[in-house]
A and B are shown apart, each in its own frame.
Chain A
Amino acid sequence: ISGAVQGAGGDMQWCLSQAKGSLDDDVTEADIISTLEFNHTGELLATGDKGGRIVIFQQEIENKRQPQYRSEYNVYSTFQSHEPEFDYLKSLEIEEKINKIRWIPQKNAAHFLLSTNDKTIKLWKISERDKRPEGYNLKEEDGRYRDPSTVTSLRVPVFRPMDLMVEASPRKVFANAHTYHINSVSVNSDNETYLSADDLRINLWHLEITDRSFNIVDIKPANMEELTEVITAAEFHPHQCNTFVYSSSKGTIRMCDMRASALCDKHSKMFEEPEDPSNRSFFSEIISSISDVKFSHSGRYMMTRDYLSVKIWDLNMESKPVETYQVHEYLRSKLCSLYENDCIFDKFECCWNGNDSMVMTGSYNNFFRMFDRDHRWDVTLEASRENSKPFQVIKPRKVCAGGKRKKDEISVDSLDFNKKILHTAWHPQDSIIVVATTNNLYIFQDKMN
């Protein structure tokens, strides 16, 4: 199944495979999912939440041979990654919320990932233990020490099988390098370094070295009153280890080459689309702020998400995106209300499918959107337990922007803005997708007849 050719989006029939999380309408703040990430094979799916916890799900291997069950994921490991802290000097609480998780490409039996909150990045090792030593000379099986006088012979302890135990241990803690709130981490293709970005600065780290990092971007003005933009996301190029991009609150993306100089304040490319003057409003600046930037797997394109749209950029063309997809254009006339209820500040993420032919992003009312780049086709789907039975193909949804509402359409004013899908992930090799509603995880698979 892995490596299967993915058909055109229009041919795809998505079925709900699993819905994980509490059934309550009452959401515990700490359980709110704040980040979602597949590992490089898609076998593991990591989620981080506001309470600082990481839950890793593993794909059931036995099921991979049966296509209809291939997207069954079960809990593999749960651990507390970050705890709330207090910065006494600034009288500020540091939230334990996990902002980002990024997997390190696997080198041995253990899995490694980076997780970060606002201030501190941690390298976690997740390893399996399925054997334990038995037959100690000085200890009983339960651990109690034997009376040495009772030891009359010696034996060599042997490893015997035990129930699988998955252990997560923090191997490195990268702290005290960020004055502002960390929004991104990205592992370099050299598998040795990674970057971390906050509102004004980007630092380069070596995975083995925790007491030092290099500052490679600094956009802090000498006088903070002159501040006009902040860094919103950053990512390394998937193949060129000298190249990274960072997006800004002004809707621009800068690409930097680390070979050019130690401090990459001068970009090598700047991607920016001029604003459409007819769309100018009080909120033009907020809605042009980029909330996510992701390179395509091929490394030829990158995708950006702003409040209303998804844009695909060809790295060879800085003047405008090659494709623009409207996620929920019907919200443009509602920006004032969305400002009042704070929804306009929501940071939506976006993702590519394995072969870069499709992209996906979330919206409100637990809707999410998929765009097929090759066939100019798009769909709105809903993550809902009530409206989907397992293994049943889910129906596309449609929002009625105005005028007469057709049957099965939902009007803009009926949308539930508390139900938002900010995080989505696409399996790197298969047509399996995961979307996170406030505190539930929905896994869908393409039926693939």
Chain B
Amino acid sequence: MMSATSAMEVNAEARRILAVSISKLYASRTQRGGLRLHRSLLLSLVMRSARDIYHSSSRESEGQSGAQPAAEEPMDTSSSPGNHAGVSQAEPQPELISPEPAAEEPRSPEEPCESETIEDKENLSPARQSRKRRGKASVAPDFLPSKRARLEPGEERHAAPLGSCRVRAGESLAVLSLNRVIPAF
């Protein structure tokens, strides 16, 4: 069983790796040549390891310090802002690199959750179709295409659970559904 200090160190390292990974994932969208499947897969594997270790080391350090208030329960996927405030007392703030854009950005075109109500843009009548990027209420960065990824024959769009798409700055990085990385293709 890890000591409380080393569990905290591991926890902090896991958080840092998660933060670095998110910024890499975000940066890779602007790469020439498009998203690289191999790189995205490796990034998501690292993030998964880091997330798992983050969770298990959070539980370890919680187990060691029983005297701490219940508000510092390890975050779960349905965390509310209240939990985060509690946890931040015990652990250093995660250094999220540009969390706001990463959180707000709706991750189109691969996130179908917010666009279930939007029609398949590919099959709009010519009059309505426009090659210009559409403005979006939640600021999509300029360089991202607004069309959804073209499906291959036989593929289906899978509805994502609504909770997993948005990562607010205060929430745990672990909320990110890592599987979302891959369906871009």
Contact = CB atoms under 8 A, between A and B. Distances in A.
A283 B154 CA distance: 34
A228 B44 CA distance: 10
Choose among A94, A199, A225, A336 the residue with the greatest number of B CB atoms under 10 Å from its CB: A225
A342 B49 CA distance: 18
Contact of B42 (A91, A118, A225, A249): A249
B158 interface: yes
Contact of B183 (A118, A224, A232, A289): A224
A339 B147 contact: no
A108 interface: no
Given A223-B158, A224-B182, A94 B33 contact: yes
A282 B182 contact: no
B150 interface: yes
Nearest to B21: A339
Given A225-B182, A230-B41, A282-B17, A93 B34 contact: yes
A89 to B, nearest CB: 6
Contacts of A225: 158, 179, 182-183
Contact of A286 (B45, B145, B147, B183): B45
Contacts of B46: 282-283, 285-286, 339
The dominant DSSP class at the A interface is loop
A278 B20 CA distance: 25
Contacts, number: 76
Contacts of A91: 145, 147
A422 interface: no
Choose among B32, B37, B147, B179 the residue with the greatest number of A CB atoms under 10 Å from its CB: B37
Contacts of A89: 150
Interface in A262-316: 282-286, 289
Interface residues of A, number: 35
A291 B34 CA distance: 20
Contacts of A286: 42, 45-46
Given A118-B33, A223-B158, A282-B49, A199 B38 contact: yes
A200 interface: yes
A180 interface: yes
A5 interface: no
B50 interface: yes
Nearest to B46: A282
A92 B35 CA distance: 9
Contact of B41 (A90, A181, A227): A227
B37 A200 contact: yes
B42 A90 contact: no
Interface string B56-72: 00000000000000000
Contact of A90 (B37, B38, B149, B158): B149
Nearest to B160: A225
B104 interface: no
B28 to A, nearest CB: 10
B105 interface: no
B134 interface: no
A355 interface: no
Nearest to A347: B38
Contacts of B32: 93, 95
A221 to B, nearest CB: 9
Choose among A97, A285, A342 the residue with the greatest number of B CB atoms under 10 Å from its CB: A285
Interface in A71-129: 89-95, 97, 118
A232 B38 contact: yes
Contacts of B119: none
A223 B182 CA distance: 10
A289 B42 contact: yes
B185 A95 contact: no
B179 A285 contact: no
Contact of A95 (B13, B33, B158): B33
23 contacts: A89-B150, A92-B34, A93-B34, A94-B34, A95-B32, A97-B33, A180-B37, A181-B33, A181-B37, A181-B38, A199-B38, A200-B37, A223-B158, A224-B182, A224-B183, A227-B41, A230-B38, A282-B14, A282-B17, A282-B49, A289-B38, A336-B17, A345-B39
Interface of A: 89-95, 97, 118, 179-181, 199-200, 222-225, 227-230, 232, 249, 282-286, 289, 336, 339-340, 342, 345
Given A90-B150, A284-B49, 15 more contacts: A90-B34, A97-B33, A118-B33, A179-B152, A179-B185, A181-B33, A181-B38, A282-B46, A285-B42, A285-B46, A285-B49, A286-B46, A339-B17, A339-B46, A345-B39
